[in-house]
Structure 1
Amino acid sequence: MQAALALWRTKGFADTTVTDICKAAGVSKALFYVYFSRREDVLLAIEVFTVHDAQSAADAVLTRPYELVDLIAAIIGTLEAQMRDYPPELVFETILETYRLERRILNEDPTEDQLTVLFLDPFRQAERDGKLPAGTDVTRAARIAQTLLTDSVRRWAASEFRNGPLARALAEEITDLLDTAR
């Protein structure tokens, strides 16, 4: 995964082949295909680590007194920090692969946890802590937050990250939306 990331940063996603990744990593194609079906699967595997880091950031916020906006900003901020290390093209590819994965999941009778990976558990805890408005459909709120995040990241990457920091402004937008939805 590190070799793929290094190549994608320097050579670009479109111009990097599985052969390039294998040479840079010092592994055979056969070994590559034991773990991945295609290079896009490497991108999804990297995304799993990014999501894990975002969930850890949310868990850290939940261990102390917090406001909902701080919880959301911690999740988005972790993603933002990691995305800034990627070329915009790679961010777009990640979003496309996430959409493809979602489509596959939707065809398999998904659980809500599969469709709201980033926000569902933190929002459930925020609900228990009284941080979400009473009567909030937590699953729907998590889905909306994730959709807004994906769309905002896409637009932010299109500007080549020139539109300033993403986390706080988007966290405030999502928080305001949830607050007015009661």
Structure 2
Amino acid sequence: MNVIVDLRNVCLETDRLFIREWKLKDLEDFYEYAKVDGVGQMAGWNPHTSKEESKEILYSFIEGKSEFAIELKENNKVVGSVGLNEIFIDLGEPYTDLKGREIGYVLSKKYWGKGIMSEAVKRVIQFCFVEEKFDFLQCSHSIENNQSKRVIEKCGFTFIKEHTRKGTNEVEHISKFYVLNNLQH
């Protein structure tokens, strides 16, 4: 069962990051990484072709209230996002009646391989389990996305199944789905 999420006025912190709600002033940073080839495709969407496209999506993040911006403390630059998305596949028992969401993320290519996403995801997991009392979180990655797989492994998720998924770019791909139960925290 999908938990209702409202991330307005939530700001999480780690040693290197502020994980916070999106703001209109983030448009330049968002477009800068969202237009780069190879970033969006890993998450099932095509590179942004205009600042206007990024602006529309940024508005949807703000209105949807379920996406965090990842801001580096060192330079106040937004370099990615972590979302708490609705779960769309049947995970089966015992998850049918438990409260959860799917955690999804994307990071600017310039910052891959620096542990930033694992740091952000671990802090969001803590928020979901300790502060929001979720029962579980689901996470997934396309079978080609080894960077995302590595984040999932570092964060302690357990593989449950493969499933064909269609991204917002309408491309179908096989994804691996994982779960992390609150009992583990």
Answer whether TM exceeds 0.5 for this pair: no
Looking at secondary structure, tell me which structure has more strand per residue: 2
TM-score (norm 2): 0.27
Question: Would you tell me which structure has more helix in proportion to its own residues?
Answer: 1
